[in-house]
Structure 1
Amino acid sequence: MSGAGLRADRVGRRADGRLILDGVVLAPETGSTVGVLGPNGSGKSTLLRLLAGLLTPTAGVVTLDGTPLGDLPRRTVARRLAVVEQQADTQVELTVADVVRLGRVPHRRAWTAGSADDERAVREALGRTGLADRAEQPWHTLSGGERQRVQIARALAQEPRELLLDEPTNHLDIHHQLDLLALVTGLPVTTVVALHDLNLAAMYCDELVVLSAGRVVAGGAPGDVLTEELIAEVYGVRAAVSREGPEQRPHVRFLGTLG
């Protein structure tokens, strides 16, 4: 598959003889936010890891500007793609600024000190994520929501063009969920984010892709994808879907399980 940006062309993944993903196509518009939805075990995290080059597809190909990820130097990929996984932890005594500086590693030669450009990128990432006043605070003293924000700052310090996030709102309270997604979707990058919450996905994503048992069962604008029929089919629950706000985004109200 040719074309600018990050693309997945009919990618599949098998592990231990089991088919985890099958024929997934993903081609985000530059600068858009694509939400990946689906129940546990549907393949969301595997797809994110394939897009990041952390796993290799057993079928199909993931490309960056038309070149297969596997044909590109790891450092080249790391300069373009930033990944925020579900939870990050460290036993090392690091400050917030130290963690964010890790995002500059792909831009430096081994064993060299950070440059003025590196420090500028770190300062900008801290400022954009509202962490400038926390720069010297020890990482281990932060709350879960603050740690997620630091991980996004680390990703921004990479100065990526594509940002991949695996369920970044897990374990956050509602305020921090909204805050974090508003931050992410306001960034000038192409974003692919795996989410559990259908209403958050409807509020913040330009496009949705729904996985079920490793296959794409729906894709498109939130209003076209989040129907009562699809929610029943994929999640096994009854729901009422209404339209709210000036953009008439879908809002899902759950009514109970099927059967």
Structure 2
Amino acid sequence: MNDRETAVAGRPAPPAPSPGGEGGLRAERVGRLAGGRLVVDGVTLAPRPGETVGLLGPNGSGKSTLLRLLSGVLAPSAGVVVLDGRPLGRTARRTVARRVAVVEQHANTSTDLRVRDVVALGRIPHRRPWTPVSAADGAAVAAALEATGLTGMADRSWHTLSGGERQRAQIARALAQEPGELLLDEPTNHLDIQYQLDLMELVVGLPVTTVIAMHDLNLAAMYCDRLLVLRGGRAVAEGTPREVLTPALIGEVYGVRAEVAQGPGHPVIRFLRQAPARPGGAR
């Protein structure tokens, strides 16, 4: 998607890439072994500054593992993840934590924290141990609460929030880190449709580069600039939603029949029932 298409879609144009193309977070032919099996196999991903990249694929395709490699939680068995041209494994953890924020599928705590306290956890990478909260910390938390529509809930207990409100609080915590890159692992799972749409509108409007693992193909088509489709740990397709989401690709990767129409600015997928079995087992 070019700058003009982005503006038409109602989103701010992404910032220009850094000189030489060395900026940002990239995975270069990364692989990851688990239990003697390659769960990610030679995947390359280089998000452009400011864009939203959707990771698609069935369960077990390697989406969550790839996100953990990008965040530095896991180290690749092959290949390299780099941040601004420097291997992530040779970059200080505090530096990575200031630049790369992660929102997991589920977050919970037995401690009775206020929403404001949860969001303030995002400031930990910016503070030295045992130092008091600074004016910059307070401003970052306030800005994150406002950006996610949680200012009025700042003093509520975490345990009183709905699923959608908890996800917004986690995104606010990530924003308080003031990251350049945001990684989200299926953040719309188990949310009502309204909360799914609200959450995606929030995410794509943020001034960060975003990589988001998703199951819902229609949400991915509506909100992502580019898609990377995984199957069995390998990348099988990459491109815009219009380029990637075809009936053939959906059938190959997900094993289902689908029709794809072109909606206003993005594809619309309609899944078809499987053909009923005929007597004798023929179809």
Quickly name the TM-score band, shorter chain normalised. Answer: over 0.9
Corresponding residue of 2:170: 151
Q: Does 1:134 align with 2:153?
A: yes
Q: Name the aligned partner's letter for residue 190 of structure 1.
A: T
Distance 1:208 1:140 in 2: 34
Q: Name the aligned partner's letter for residue 173 of structure 1.
A: D
Could you say what secondary structure the match of 1:8 adopts?
strand
Distance 1:113 1:36 in 2: 39
Distance 1:70 1:153 in 2: 27
Distance 1:179 1:205 in 2: 15
Contact kept, 8 Å, 1:103 with 1:155, in 2: the verdict is yes
- Correspondences of 1:201-240 after superposition (within 5 Å): 201-240=220-259
Corresponding residue of 2:269: 252
- Equivalent of 1:41 in 60, 76, 86: 60
Q: Does 1:122 align with 2:141?
A: yes
Displacement of 1:257 in angstroms is 4.1
Displacement of 1:93 in angstroms is 1.0
Q: Name the aligned partner's letter for residue 114 of structure 2.
A: T
Q: Does 1:86 align with 2:105?
A: yes
Displacement of 1:111 in angstroms is 1.1
Corresponding residue of 1:65: 84
Q: Name the aligned partner's letter for residue 271 of structure 2.
A: F
Mark the runs of 5 or more structure 2 residues left unpaired by the alignment. 1-19, 276-282
Distance 1:68 1:167 in 2: 26
Q: Name the aligned partner's letter for residue 25 of structure 1.
A: T
Could you say what secondary structure the match of 1:109 adopts?
coil
Could you say what secondary structure the match of 1:256 adopts?
coil
Q: Name the aligned partner's letter for residue 63 of structure 2.
A: K
Matched residue pairs, number?
257
Distance 2:92 2:47 in 1: 22
Could you say what secondary structure the match of 2:120 adopts?
helix
Displacement of 1:189 in angstroms is 0.3
Corresponding residue of 1:54: 73
For residues 134-177 of structure 1, the C-alpha deviation after alignment (integer angstroms, 9 at most, x for no partner) is: 00000011111100000000000000000000000001000000
Q: Does 1:16 align with 2:35?
A: yes
Q: Name the aligned partner's letter for residue 191 of structure 1.
A: T
Q: 4+ residue runs of structure 1 moved beyond 3 angstroms?
A: none
Give the alignment's Cα RMSD to 1 decimal.
1.2
Distance 2:139 2:260 in 1: 45
Identity %: 68
- Equivalent of 2:214 in 192, 195, 210: 195
Could you say what secondary structure the match of 1:91 adopts?
coil
Could you say what secondary structure the match of 1:237 adopts?
coil
Contact kept, 8 Å, 1:236 with 1:257, in 2: the verdict is no
Q: Does 1:26 align with 2:32?
A: no
Displacement of 1:256 in angstroms is 2.6
Distance 1:113 1:144 in 2: 31
For residues 56-99 of structure 1, the C-alpha deviation after alignment (integer angstroms, 9 at most, x for no partner) is: 00000000011000000100000000000000000011000000
Larger Rg: 2
TM, length-normalised to structure 2:
0.89
Could you say what secondary structure the match of 2:238 adopts?
strand
Mark the runs of 5 or more structure 1 residues left unpaired by the alignment. none
Q: Name the aligned partner's letter for residue 186 of structure 2.
A: E
Q: Does 1:4 align with 2:23?
A: yes
Corresponding residue of 1:174: 193
Could you say what secondary structure the match of 1:146 adopts?
helix
More strand by share: 1
- The change in CA–CA distance for 1:257 and 1:64 in structure 2 (over 3 A counts) is farther
For residues 107-132 of structure 1, the C-alpha deviation after alignment (integer angstroms, 9 at most, x for no partner) is: 00011111000000000000000000
Distance 1:217 1:15 in 2: 21
